[in-house]
């Protein structure tokens, strides 16, 4: 009986304490926010609930921080990809503008140089090389419908390139001065000495039939003489790069460096009205004989 009474007393105490705690909690929640000291029950609620609140807030902050960090990384990654794409596009545009600027400068130089000639002329671009010919034959993107004719002189602002030897409506093949079959009647500009310039190996040429007594020196400029009914007079062919004078014979061997850098050639000028029809007929007759 005593045990039963003791259990009832304990249950009553627990119920009473729980009611007091709930009352204090409700009072704390619904209290007016006035200045004053906290009561015992308020301290009890604060001390009990604050650690739980700290844990919940800390967990929320941790999860929020991780989620925010993940979102920031995803956004930064997408932004980096977008920026890299924009940078690549800008670099390509800068490259294209730089190429366009260089091309305009080359064309401006060609146009300024071609103003010196009274002949009709067209601009053309190199579209192909004969890979087996060491720049001896090249193809341009202008043909008969653009006014180009057989034996038309081809040149740049730097000097002579060659002449048109094969032709279609839209394209033309040029035999350059590097080919041994393209013989140029040349003239030493300083001494007015005559000789025949022809290619012989790679990007090198020789000037033949210049007598040993001619005072040729390194660096002398060689121009077209206008003879041979092929090229107009005064076009720069190249410069003397080597001289060999033997103790015997009547001529000297002269090596010539072309004025045109064929390895960097991109645009050319074609003189379309240099040869008269009579001279072109002579050329055709010579070709038929050969």
What whole-number distance in Å separates Cα of residue 199 and Cα of residue 178? 4
In tens, the pLDDT along 58-77 reads 666 666 667 666 667 767 77
- CB contact at 8 A, 265 and 159: no
What whole-number distance in Å separates Cα of residue 285 and Cα of residue 186? 24
In tens, the pLDDT along 183-226 reads 999 999 999 999 999 998 778 899 999 998 899 999 999 999 98
Name the one residue in this structure whose structure tokens are 């190249």: 238
Q: b/e for 243-252, b at 16 or more Cβ within 10 A?
A: eeeeeeeebb
Do both 129 and 259 map to the same domain? yes
Do both 152 and 32 map to the same domain? no
In a domain, 126, yes or no: yes
Q: What is the CA radius of gyration of the chain?
A: 47
In a domain, 249, yes or no: yes
pLDDT at position 157: 85
Do both 174 and 271 map to the same domain? yes
Name the one residue in this structure whose structure tokens are 């030897």: 165
In a domain, 112, yes or no: no
pLDDT at position 121: 81
pLDDT at position 197: 95
In a domain, 179, yes or no: yes
Q: Which residues of the chain have pLDDT under 50?
A: 33, 283, 286-287, 289-290
Number of separate domains in the chain: 2
Do both 151 and 264 map to the same domain? yes
Residues contacting residue 272 through CB under 8 Å, at least 6 positions apart: 119, 120, 121, 122, 147, 148, 149, 152
What whole-number distance in Å separates Cα of residue 224 and Cα of residue 238? 10
pLDDT at position 96: 60
Do both 164 and 27 map to the same domain? no
In tens, the pLDDT along 236-246 reads 999 999 998 87
Do both 128 and 236 map to the same domain? yes
pLDDT at position 226: 86
Q: What are the φ and ψ backbone dihedral angles of 236, each rounded to 5 degrees?
A: -70, 130
Cα 78-79-83 angle, rounded to 5 deg: 120
In a domain, 42, yes or no: no
Q: What are the φ and ψ backbone dihedral angles of 273, each rounded to 5 degrees?
A: -135, 35
- Give the helix ranges, DSSP H, for the chain: 2-30, 40-114, 277-289
Do both 29 and 156 map to the same domain? no
Do both 32 and 138 map to the same domain? no
Residue of 161, 155, 125, 159 whose CA lies nearest to 143: 125
* Four-point Cα dihedral 194, 200, 202, 204, nearest 10: -20
For the entire predicted model, the pTM comes to: 0.58
Burial of 177 from C-beta contacts in 10 A (0-12 / 13-18 / 19+): buried
Residue of 147, 144, 103, 141 whose CA lies nearest to 125: 141
Range of the domain at 11: 1-36
pLDDT at position 290: 44
């Amino acid at each position: 009986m005593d045990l039963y009474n003791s259990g009832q007393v304990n249950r009553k105490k627990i119920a009473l304490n729980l009611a007091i705690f709930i009352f204090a909690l409700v009072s704390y929640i619904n209290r007016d926010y006035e200045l004053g000291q906290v009561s015992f029950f308020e301290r009890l609620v604060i001390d009990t609930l604050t650690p739980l609140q700290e844990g919940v807030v800390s967990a929320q902050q941790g999860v929020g921080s991780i989620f925010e960090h993940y979102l920031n990384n995803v956004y930064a990654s997408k932004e980096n990809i977008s920026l890299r794409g924009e940078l690549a596009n800008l670099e390509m545009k800068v490259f294209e503008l730089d190429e366009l600027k260089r091309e305009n400068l080359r064309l401006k130089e060609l146009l300024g140089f071609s103003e010196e000639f009274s002949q009709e002329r067209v601009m053309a671009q190199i579209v192909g090389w004969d890979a087996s010919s060491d720049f001896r034959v090249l193809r341009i993107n202008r043909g008969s419908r653009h006014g180009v004719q057989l034996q038309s002189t081809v040149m740049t602002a730097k000097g002579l390139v060659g002449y048109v030897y094969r032709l279609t409506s839209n394209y033309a093949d040029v035999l350059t001065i590097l080919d041994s079959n393209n013989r140029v009647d040349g003239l030493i500009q300083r001494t007015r000495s005559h000789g025949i310039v022809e290619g012989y190996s790679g990007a090198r040429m020789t000037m033949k039939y210049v007598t040993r007594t001619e005072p040729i020196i390194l660096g002398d400029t060689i121009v077209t003489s206008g003879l041979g009914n092929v090229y107009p007079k005064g076009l720069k062919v190249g410069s003397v790069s080597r001289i060999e004078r033997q103790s015997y014979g009547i001529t000297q061997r002269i090596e010539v460096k072309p004025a045109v850098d064929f390895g960097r050639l991109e645009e050319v000028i074609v003189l379309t009205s240099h040869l008269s029809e009579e001279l072109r007929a002579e050329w055709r007759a010579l070709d038929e004989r050969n």
